[in-house]
Amino acid sequence: MQTTTTAGSDEPLKLALAMALLRSKLVNKTSETSHPPSDTSSSAALKWKRKIEKLNLVIKELVKEKDEEKERFNRIIAGLLAEKEKKIRWIKMLCLI
């Protein structure tokens, strides 16, 4: 995996992470107001559950972003291959003349 990226390619990833964190904060606020913890053991369990939910949201956003990048890459490759085929046909046509 290459570690060199441009600033523009990091922006979608940063945006996806920010959106996932904001969503998880909203989920936490609603769960805290509806179900306050009764003792320390359930409090610790809820804390871990929230952490896992946050991580799951972040993972989902990262997977979505990865799939979108893969689709963009495939479109670029398809365009380059089509352009190559077009040039090859043009050269063959010129050779026939």
Q: Which tens digits make up the pLDDT trace of 66-91?
A: 999 999 999 999 999 999 999 999 99
- Please check whether residue 78 is in contact with residue 72, taking contact to mean a CB–CB distance below 8 angstroms: no
Give the Å distances, CA to CA, from 17 to 8, 10, 42, 50, 55.
Answer: 15, 11, 28, 16, 10
Domain ranges, ordered by start, for the chain = 12-96
What is the residue type of 51? Answer: K
Q: What is the pTM of this model?
A: 0.47
Q: For residue range 14-51, list pLDDT tens digits in order.
A: 888 888 887 777 776 666 555 554 567 788 889 999 99
The amino acid at 87:
K
Which tens digit of pLDDT belongs to each residue from 2-20? 444 455 677 887 888 888 8
